[in-house]
Amino acid sequence: MLRGTLRGLINKHVGEAAGNAQLGFELAAQEIDGLIAEGAVQPQDFSLRELFEEVVDPDRRLDRSTDPQVIAEAISSSAFPVITNTLLFRATMPEYETNSGLVDDLVTEDNASKTNSEDIAGMTDLEGPELRPEQMAYTETTFGEKNIRIFTADFGRLISLTREAIFDDRTGEMLRRARRIGKKGGQHRTKMVIETIEMAARTAFGEANTRAFTYGGTAITQALFYNATTHTTIDGQLNPNTVPDALGTAGLNSALLLFDDMVDVQGDEILVEPRILLVPGALRMTSWQLLSSPMQFDTANRAQNFFGPGGPGGAGLVPRVSVFLSDSGRYFIGDFKEQLLWLWVWKPATAAAARDSRLAFENQIVSRFRFNYAGGVGHQDYRNIVRGGA
């Protein structure tokens, strides 16, 4: 923004806030955020040095020889942290959203009411409707006693701003760091979801053994969760959800057939509508051929492809690829959003840290910013996803 414009904007909002400086700073940041959202300006249009001179040091009393503790004190009492935080947020979030886009297809989101972990209602524990004879009362339903536990945690990174970064105007460097953190944040969340799907120990939580499906207080192992024969040790039902077949016409058919025989914990038949075929990078071409070829690509007679365009088998089935899947031969198919629940403690955000005189003294750091999110994901059931491949 042009020199003088930014200071005028801040003074206007402080005046509108009846002299409440902090409120005025926040209102000014909101207006700048709106301008960025509209595309009128970009984060890179702002210079760290000009921003500092406009809102911290309009009288030009500070320079690179000034004690960093003095600079840190001046910054903390100005609009600089609030406005810089807005710029970093706008640089961070597009990268975060791009790199976590796959998650939107795989989880259902809700807000957590607790931190660390939360219990939710167990798997399909409600009974279905029953015949009510004339003049008799309806049968009252009961709730199952076993709950699903979803674990959550706080994840984040800090960006430190030094005295040199301001006076050397390293705006581009700061924004690049913010974008990298956003990119890594999106990948971090995606990997957590993929490891949850695989029922692997999740690196984000530092798990030695997976807690991705904790049912009735017991963390179910991967071997029990993805089982080719029985789930009787979990809920008394068979419900196989694993096939050994490689991805192809026969393999996909075998996987889909398992959904036809799924029953709930009461033994009642249920309807599962598979929506996504999730594959590792090594199977991206195979998945595309399987769902896009009019003829069967993997049979000698080239029969019409049941799963291809116009075929009833592939209707509504979308291929998705993740490089975070750990096994190049395994694939997953199902209604992932029905089975996976993501709980937000708080959504991704950036924040300006309070002044730290020790860091200013020891490391020349005059301001700090944080990107973080708090949440977690877990399975609510095992019936809506089938694993295939060897």
Pair 112, 146: CB distance under 8 Å: no
Q: Mean pLDDT of all residues in the chain?
A: 92
Half-sphere exposure of 29 (CA within 13 A, CB side): 22
List, in sequence order, every residue forming a beta bridge with 367; answer none if it has no partner: 161
Domain locations along the chain: 5-100+153-189+348-373, 202-344+377-388
Please determine, for residue 206, whether its predicted confidence score (pLDDT) is greater than 90.
yes
Mind listing the pLDDT tens digit for each residue in 75-120? 999 999 999 999 999 999 999 999 999 999 999 999 999 999 999 9
> For strand 385-388 and strand 331-334, is the pairing parallel, antiparallel, or unpaired?
antiparallel
Contact 248, 236 (CB under 8 A): no
Q: What tokens appear for 91 in the block?
A: 């640089």
**β strands within the chain, DSSP E:** 108-111, 117-121, 147-151, 153-162, 214-215, 218-219, 242-243, 276-279, 318-321, 331-334, 340-352, 365-379, 385-388
How many Cβ atoms are within 10 Å of 348's Cβ, its own excluded?
22
What's the rounded Cα separation, in Å, for the pair 373 and 154? 6
What is the residue-wise DSSP string for 89-154? HHHHHHHHHHHTGGGGGT-EEEE-SSSSEEEEE-TT-S-------TT-PPPPP---S-EEEEE-EE
pLDDT band for 13, please (50, 70, 90 cuts).
Answer: very high
Q: pLDDT per residue over 278-331, tens digit each?
A: 999 999 999 999 999 999 999 888 889 999 887 887 667 999 999 999 999 999
Give the residue with greater pLDDT, 336 vs 129. 336
- Average pLDDT of span 222-247: 97
Q: Which of 24, 174, 181 is nearest to 84 (CA)?
A: 174
Residue 142, pLDDT > 70, answer: no
Look at residues 322, 305, 323 and name the one whose alpha carbon lies nearest to residue 314: 305
Average pLDDT over residues 336-352: 97
**Separation between Cα atoms, residue 350 and residue 178, nearest integer Å:** 10
* Beta bridge partner(s), residue 162: 365
